[in-house]
Structure 1
Amino acid sequence: MSSSVTRRVSKHRAGLRAAGMRPIQIWVPDTRRPGFAEECRRQSALTAESDAADKDLQDFMEAALAKMEGWTE
């Protein structure tokens, strides 16, 4: 990294800190990992199956959608 880029990044970070922000590191799942998409599908299917079996949730969702402006079936 060139020194001008380093200075610009340092200035930007100093401004963020002055605004009350702080840097953090966040670990997230690696979407490129083999099996990631399959695991997403598996979890989504389980969630959909569970949601479909929950009558109270279905009623809640229907009521919420009915209150949305412009909602039509």
Structure 2
Amino acid sequence: MTRGPARKVVSIVDARAAAIAAAPRPAMPVYVPGRVNRCVECHHEAFWVGRITAECGSCGRPLPVDQLRRHP
């Protein structure tokens, strides 16, 4: 007696997690040192810049600093 091809059992949770991981995500705004940056809420260009975040000088919205593009 021969058996057919083995089937992989996938749970609903695994299928949903795979669908969520494959879904396109919206772009996350970041502060890029050396470029003109605008606040996503009030569109002003003044920021208080720290090591980890940059805070809008007008409305106070924090943005993460893009660490990959930082120049020494």
User: TM-score, normalised on structure 2?
Assistant: 0.21
Higher fraction of helix: 1
- Higher RCO (C-alpha 8 Å, min separation 6): 2
User: TM-score, normalised on structure 1?
Assistant: 0.21
